[in-house]
């Protein structure tokens, strides 16, 4: 008799972190349910990347429509085209304008409800140490509070464990781990501009380039012409 594999529900953007997360849990023997979120982000190009990566891992994949929620959240460079996407190094002062209030908490709670209904063992998030300075819902206290909230909200019902295995790791660590796992980094998407190619200059592009460079890995990303930066 073949035992059913445990299910992991991932908040899945199609970026380096969430794709390495998918490879991590697949390697641990989990089936994957990948949840991407359309919240009206200007870089909706990431959803195409997510679909291709889900096909690569032969994983179940769904795009959750949160566009009406995103439309009610002005002021972020990710959802409001009147706000410029910051360029340069990924630092608190410049990247503050990319905060979508409570974004990860909203997505994680949607994932937790679906995980409970599906009897999943784990809800997994790709948050990492490099996000701590900018995004409150990427920090260890948030993860602890989220688990308590999910446990309380699902009393008497199947309750997944909320995990973030990279929460104390850097983007460089994730690049190295992804390389070890054979992650198809060329399929992933990071750029907040959301053009046909990575712009190479926004905070997430600079962070991506630095991660590959510092990890001693070849960067497979095609960047827009004229995007040369020093990393």
134-167 pLDDT tens trace: 899 999 999 999 999 999 999 999 999 999 999 9
> Tokens in use for 146?
């989220």
pLDDT at residue 178 greater than cutoff 90: yes
Percent of the chain, pLDDT > 70? 95
pLDDT at position 88, please? 83
Lowest mean pLDDT among 91-95, 107-111, 167-171, 178-182: 91-95
User: Residue 112: pLDDT band by 50, 70, 90 thresholds?
Assistant: very high
Q: Kindly tell me the burial class for residue 104, based on how many C-beta atoms sit within 10 Å of its own C-beta (0-12, 13-18, 19 or more).
A: buried
pLDDT at position 227, please? 55
Contact between residue 215 and residue 175 where contact means Cβ atoms under 8 Å apart? yes
Lowest mean pLDDT among 34-38, 50-54, 129-133: 129-133
pLDDT at residue 230 greater than cutoff 70: no
Neighbours of 77 (CB within 10 A): 24
User: Residue 130: pLDDT band by 50, 70, 90 thresholds?
Assistant: confident
Tell me the per-residue pLDDT of 41-77, one tens digit each, with 9 for 90 and over. Answer: 999 999 999 999 999 999 999 999 999 999 999 999 9
> Tokens in use for 26?
């697949």
Tell me the per-residue pLDDT of 180-194, one tens digit each, with 9 for 90 and over. Answer: 999 999 999 999 998
Between helices 16-27 and 171-180, what is the axis angle to 10°?
Answer: 40
Angle (CA) 203 208 211, round 5°? 125
User: Residue 17: pLDDT band by 50, 70, 90 thresholds?
Assistant: very high
User: Residue 37: pLDDT band by 50, 70, 90 thresholds?
Assistant: very high
Ordered domains of the chain (ranges, CATH): 7-215 (3.40.50.620)
Q: Whole-prediction pTM value?
A: 0.94
pLDDT at position 131, please? 84
> Distance between CA atoms of 177 and 197, rounded to whole angstroms?
25
User: Which has more confidence, 18 or 227?
Assistant: 18
User: Which has more confidence, 130 or 177?
Assistant: 177
User: Residue 92: pLDDT band by 50, 70, 90 thresholds?
Assistant: low
pLDDT at residue 231 greater than cutoff 60: no
């Amino acid at each position: 008799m073949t035992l059913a594999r445990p299910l992991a529900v991932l908040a899945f953007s199609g970026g380096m972190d969430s794709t390495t997360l998918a490879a991590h849990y697949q390697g641990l023997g989990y089936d994957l349910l990948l949840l991407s979120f359309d919240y009206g982000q200007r870089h909706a190009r990431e959803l195409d990347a997510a679909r291709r990566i889900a096909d690569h891992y032969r994983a179940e994949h769904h795009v959750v429509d949160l566009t009406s929620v995103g439309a009610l959240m002005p002021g972020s460079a990710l959802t409001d085209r009147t706000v410029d996407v910051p360029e340069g190094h990924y630092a608190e002062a410049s990247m503050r304008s990319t905060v979508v209030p409570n974004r990860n908490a909203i997505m994680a709670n949607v994932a937790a409800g679906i995980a409970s209904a599906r009897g999943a063992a784990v809800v997994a998030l790709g948050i990492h140490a490099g996000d701590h300075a900018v995004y409150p819902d990427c920090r260890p206290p948030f993860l602890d509070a989220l688990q308590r909230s999910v446990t309380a909200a699902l009393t008497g019902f199947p309750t997944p464990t909320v995990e973030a295995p990279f929460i104390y790791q850097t983007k460089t660590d994730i690049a190295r781990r992804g390389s070890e796992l054979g992650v198809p980094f060329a399929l992933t998407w990071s750029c907040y501009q959301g053009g046909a190619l990575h712009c190479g200059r926004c905070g997430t592009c600079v962070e991506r380039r630095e991660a590959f460079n510092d990890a001693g890995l070849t960067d497979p990303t095609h960047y827009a012409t004229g995007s040369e930066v020093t990393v």
